[in-house]
């Protein structure tokens, strides 16, 4: 039996999505490097971008999918670097698990502090999330700002924060690839990244939607 909450709302929409996934499966080539659950995430990322390079660019901590599913099932918060991620996530799917999203990059106090300390808004936004206790046990979702990812890594290394999962996919040319490489060396916190310069909010949203679908399937099979 297929999922209910994390499927498209109409039969026509479901057919288009399922047909698209079938095309991805047929054209993607070998994906033996990924587990079955990991492939569900990668193929949704390909589906969202029509870019088959993510079959290879997507990389997982060994416990990433398990940690992400458990965090969502338990209603853990999602802390995003930008509003676009929060807007892109399906509200009914999040509500099913009692998950709330948070972003602080446009907050006046964040902007003021960034100007005062000559840092980025993304850095201050993650510091604010940390002060509010949202990073511990939460899912950190970064699609745009490498400095947000680097700040979270610094907090983890200081022993100040312990997210359940980091979806690190900042896009760009300055520190994007380097921040993801640094995250990939982390052992104590599960992560999901895209190697190199490619990334973005669309990919983060698609990865989280795939995790939500896996979480619903696990609920139904429990």
Q: What is the DSSP letter of 74?
A: T
The DSSP secondary structure of 6-37, one letter per residue, reads TS-SSHHHHHHHHHHHHHHHHHS---TTS-HH
Q: Please say whether the dihedral angle defined by the alpha carbons of residues 175, 65, 89 and 42, taken in this order, is positive or negative.
A: positive
Q: What is the rounded CA–CA span in Å between residue 10 and residue 211?
A: 21
Q: Please say whether the dihedral angle defined by the alpha carbons of residues 138, 139, 143 and 149, taken in this order, is positive or negative.
A: positive
Element (H, E) at 70: helix 64-73
Residues labelled catalytic: 47
CA 13 to chain centre: 24
Map residue 182 onto helix, strand or coil.
Answer: helix
């Amino acid at each position: 039996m297929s999922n209910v909450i994390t499927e498209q709302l109409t039969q026509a929409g479901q057919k288009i999505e399922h047909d698209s996934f079938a095309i991805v499966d047929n054209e993607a080539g070998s994906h033996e490097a990924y587990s079955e659950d990991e492939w569900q995430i990668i193929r949704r990322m390909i589906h969202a971008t029509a870019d088959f390079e993510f079959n290879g660019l997507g990389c997982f901590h060994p416990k990433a999918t398990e940690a992400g599913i458990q965090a969502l099932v338990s209603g853990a918060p999602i802390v995003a670097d930008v509003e676009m991620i929060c807007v892109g996530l399906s509200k009914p799917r999040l509500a099913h698990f009692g998950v709330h999203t948070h972003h602080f990059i446009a907050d006046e106090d964040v902007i003021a502090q960034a100007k005062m300390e000559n840092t980025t808004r993304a850095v201050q936004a993650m510091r604010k999330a940390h002060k509010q206790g949202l990073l511990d046990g939460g899912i950190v979702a970064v699609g745009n700002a490498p400095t947000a990812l680097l700040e979270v890594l610094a907090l983890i290394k200081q022993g100040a924060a312990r997210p359940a999962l980091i979806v690190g996919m900042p896009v760009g040319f300055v520190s994007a690839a380097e921040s993801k490489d640094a995250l990939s060396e982390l052992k104590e916190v599960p992560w999901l990244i895209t190697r190199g310069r490619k990334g973005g909010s669309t990919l983060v949203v698609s990865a989280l939607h795939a995790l939500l679908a896996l979480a619903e399937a696990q609920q139904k099979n429990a």
